[in-house]
Chain A
C-alpha cells in the first residue's frame, strides 16, 4: 500500500491561540472539519480540543485552546492554554485575533514571540472590519512583525487558502517580547485607516424591528396580566379596545394578536438572521446592559424562551410524539406483536423499557430539550448573555460570586454538567466551589426545566410562583451562607462584552444537532437503565422494601403518594427523569396542586444526574463531590418538608 512506502511522518502540531471570543473554534472547525461549539461570549471553550487533518499531503494536528488575555494566566481555563504552549512545543502557533482590536492583538503577539516558536497571525472577523470601514494593511503589518499575516472570516471561509499556504511557515516573530507601548502606536498608524462605517439598513427598518419587539412584548404582557388578574378585570381596566368580539373587525384583531403572540417569537430569529445594520445591534447592545432598559428586555427574552419551550416544545411537540407516535402507534403495535409474559413486561409493562424509559426520554424530554437548545443557541450566539452578567453582578456579589458567574449559571439551564466545567472561567477556588454547588442545587437543566414548564402550565400562577420563588430563594440563601463560611475571597468583576451579532442559522442548527445527539447518547441510556433497574427490583419484590424504607419521608414528611418514591429514585439517576415521572403522575390526576408544588420543588433542588456527579468529582475532587451530594439531598428534602408545613400552616389553597 502507498502509505507503507511513504515515510511515516509525525504530524505538524499547530496550536491556535488568541484573546477570548475571537473565533479560534470557528477557525479550528474549518481546518479540521470537526465541529466544536462556537458561541458569542468569552469562555465558550474551557478545555483543549485536538483534531487531525491531512492538508495538501501533509498531516497536521490542530489544538484549539481556551482564550487568553495574556500569557501570565488568571483563571484555570487560561492556565490550560499557557501549559500547552510551554509544554508541547508546537511546530506553529496560529494566533487568531479580532481584526477590530489590533492593539490587544499585538500585545499578545509580543508575548507569544517570547516562546520562540514559528508564528502566523490570522486577523479574523474581516467581515466585521469591512462593515465598520476598518482597513488593515496586512502586508505592511507582516513586514513589521516578521511573520505572515492573513485576514480571514472563519464563518465563511474567506482567507483560508492563505492560512493553509502558511501552515509550514518557519518565521519567527521579530517583536521578541518588546514592550509594546513604543512601537504599537506607530504600527497602528501605519497599517490602518478607520471610519465609522456606512449604515446598511435604513432608519425605518431599524424602527420597524424595534416596533415589532415592543408589540410582541405588549401582547405577552397582556397574557401574563390576564392570567394574573383574570381577563375580565384586565379588560375592565383597559376598556374594551382589547376585548375579543364577535364582529369581523374583532376577529381580525384577535387573529393579528395571535399571530404576534405566537409567531413573532418564532419568526424573530429569522428576522434577525437577515443581514442588518450594525447600528441596531449596537443600540440593542446598549439597551441590554442598562438597568432601565435591560430588565424589560430580559422579561421579553424570558417570555420568548418560555413560548418556545413551554408551548411549542412541552405542549405541542410532546403531544404529537407521545399521544400521536408512542401511545397512538408504537405501543399498540408492539403490544400486538409481543405475547404476554416476561418479555412483554420487560418492554411494555409498568416499568417497561419502551413504555416508560423510551417514552419518557424521546416523547417527553427530547422535544423539550431540542426546542430549548434552539432558543438557547440563539441567545448564546447573539452576545446577549454577557450583558446579563453586567445586570446581575451586584446580586451575585452577595453570594460571594461576581457577574461572571452568571455565565455558568445560565449555561446550567442548558446542561448542568457542561456548565460545571464552565465554572473554570471563574478566577478563585471559592467561586468555583460555590458556583458548582448552586448549579447542582437549584439550576434546572433544559430537560428538567422543560418538564417543569409542561407541568406548571396546568396549575395556578400562584403555585408556579411558589415553586420558582422557593428555588431561587434557596440559591440565594445557600450562596449567602457558603460565601460567609468558606475561606478565600471572591475576585473582582472584569468582563469583556462582545458585540451583538446576528446568529448564523447554520451554527445554531449545528450546535443544536450536536447537543441533541449528546442528549440521546448520554441521557437516553440512563433513562432505559433506570427503568430496567426498577423492573428488576420490582420482579425481585425489592422495590416494595425500598419504597417502604423511604415511606416516612415521602408520605409522612412530604405528604406525597407512595408512588412518588419510585419517581424520586429515578431522580437519583437524572432529575429530569424524575420530573418526567412527576409530569406523568400529574397528568393522570395522581397529584394535588400542593403535592405538585412540593414534589417539583424537591425534585428541582435534588442532585442533577450521574454525569454531573462525575464531572463534579473531576473538577472538585471525590471528597467535595460526596459532601456536595449529601448536602443537597438532605437540603432538598428539608426544604420540601418546610414548604409543605408552611402551606399547611397558612392554610393556603392552591
Chain B
C-alpha cells in the first residue's frame, strides 16, 4: 500500500497476534501511554463495534481511524 513495512492493524483477524511496527505520529503519543510502542506484541481481540487489542494485561479499545494508523507484522 504505502510501502511501509507490515500491514495495518485493521487487516488483522480476531485472535491474531502481531508485533507493533510503527504508528502515525498523530496517535503515537496517546498509544505510548498505554504501553503500546514498536516491538511490543499485541493480540487483536475484537473488530466490531470497536477494535480492541490486548498488550500485557491492558485491554484498549480503538476506533477504526486510530487502528488504521497502526502498522504491525503478524506473528501468528
Contact = CB atoms under 8 A, between A and B. Distances in A.
Main SS class of interface, B? mixed
A24 to B, nearest CB: 16
Give the most central of B31, B46, B50, B63: most A CB within 10 Å. B50
Interface in A65-110: 68-70, 72, 74, 98, 100-104, 107
B19 to A, nearest CB: 13
B58 interface: yes
A391 B32 contact: no
Interface string A561-599: 000000000000000000000000000000000000000
Contacts of A180: 37
Contacts of A397: 63
Given A181-B39, A291-B48, A494-B61, A103 B30 contact: no
Nearest to A125: B57
B33 A492 contact: no
Contact of A496 (B29, B38, B59): B59
Interface string B9-30: 0000000000000000001011
A402 interface: yes
A107 B60 CA distance: 17
B74 interface: no
A515 B45 CA distance: 37
Contact of B37 (A181, A285, A393, A496): A181
A424 interface: no
Contacts of A70: 29, 32-33
B49 to A, nearest CB: 5
A101 B33 CA distance: 12
Contacts of A492: 27, 30, 62-63, 65-66
B26 to A, nearest CB: 9
Given A393-B50, A492-B63, A493-B61, A100 B30 contact: no
A114 to B, nearest CB: 15
Which bucket holds chain A's interface residue count? Answer: 35 or more
A103 B29 contact: no
Which bucket holds chain B's interface residue count? Answer: 20 to 34
A260 to B, nearest CB: 31
A615 interface: no
A289 interface: yes
A499 B33 CA distance: 18
B35 interface: yes
Nearest to A68: B33
B31 to A, nearest CB: 7
Contact of B62 (A69, A285, A289, A493): A493
A494 B52 contact: no
Interface string A41-75: 00000000000000000000000000011101010
Nearest to B35: A104
Given A390-B50, A403-B50, A107 B63 contact: no
Contacts of A618: none
Interface string A372-404: 000000000000001001110110010000110
A74 B56 contact: no
Nearest to B33: A69
Q: Which 7 A-B pairs have the closest CB atoms?
A: A69-B33, A104-B35, A100-B57, A493-B63, A497-B59, A70-B33, A103-B35
Given A289-B52, A493-B61, 20 more contacts: A68-B33, A70-B33, A74-B33, A103-B56, A104-B33, A181-B37, A181-B38, A181-B39, A390-B49, A390-B52, A390-B61, A393-B49, A492-B62, A492-B63, A493-B63, A494-B34, A494-B66, A496-B60, A496-B61, A497-B52
19 contacts: A69-B30, A69-B32, A70-B29, A98-B57, A101-B58, A104-B33, A104-B34, A132-B57, A181-B39, A289-B52, A291-B48, A390-B50, A492-B62, A492-B63, A492-B65, A494-B61, A494-B63, A496-B59, A497-B60
Interface of A: 19, 68-70, 72, 74, 98, 100-104, 107, 132, 180-181, 285-286, 289-291, 386, 389-391, 393-394, 397, 402-403, 492-497, 499
